[in-house]
Structure 1
Amino acid sequence: MSISAFVLIDVTGNHTKSAYKTLQRIQGVKALYAVTGPHDLIAHVEADTIEELNDLILTRIRNVDGVVKTSTAIILNITPSTAAGQTPSGLESSKPPGSTA
């Protein structure tokens, strides 16, 4: 069974678009959202072990150019509709911030 978490990501200056594109390509990042509020991006990540989750966050996500801070919330419970892979209402597929394509 894998470990799932949300990683709240703060990006410096105008690096949000480039960080978004880089983070999308990282293995273990299952979904990525550009958001309003105190954080710039939220990543839904999965790893097989806590050690792999640690490596994913500390080595890969935090080393992306422009990422200045992360905060992680491990998911403890998933509702059946979410577990079945349904996207929450109103959310569309991931596109880089400012992208029209």
Structure 2
Amino acid sequence: MVVQAYILIQTDVGKSESVAAAASATKGVTLAEGVTGPYDVIVRAEARNIDELGKMVVAKVQAIEGITRTLTCPVVHI
């Protein structure tokens, strides 16, 4: 079973489109869309385990230029 998560992203002003495009090109990201509200981009990602997911968020997603803050919300199956 894979671990899935939503990554809520805040960006610099005017950077949401480029951040969404860069995120969607990242391995493990299944969806990246610009949104309105307190976050600018929401990403759906998946990985083999929680450690791999954390490494992807820190090493790949947070490295995208224009991101100011992320909040990772793992999906739970209740």
TM-score above 0.5, yes or no: yes
CA-CA distance at 1:50 after TM superposition: 1.1
Name the aligned partner's letter for residue 33 of structure 2.
Y
| 1:21 Cα deviation after fit | 1.2
Quote the sequence identity (%). 28
Q: What is the CA-CA distance between 1:33 and the residue it aligns to? A: 1.7
Higher RCO (C-alpha 8 Å, min separation 6):
2
SS at match of 2:5: strand
Supply the RMSD in Å over aligned alpha carbons.
1.2
2:9 maps to 9
Determine if the alignment matches structure 1 residue 77 to structure 2 residue 74: no
Cross-structure match for 1:31: 31
After superposition, where does 1:39-58 map in structure 2 within 5 Å?
Answer: 39-58=39-58
Runs of 4+ with >6 A deviation: none
Bigger radius of gyration, 1 or 2?
1
- The amino acid that maps onto 2:12 is T
Where in structure 1 are there 5+ consecutive unaligned residues? 79-101
Structure (1 or 2) with the greater strand fraction: 2
Q: In 2, distance between residues paired with 1:72 and 1:21?
A: 18
Structure 2: gaps of 5 or more residues: none
When the two structures are superposed, what TM-score results if normalisation uses the length of structure 2? 0.93
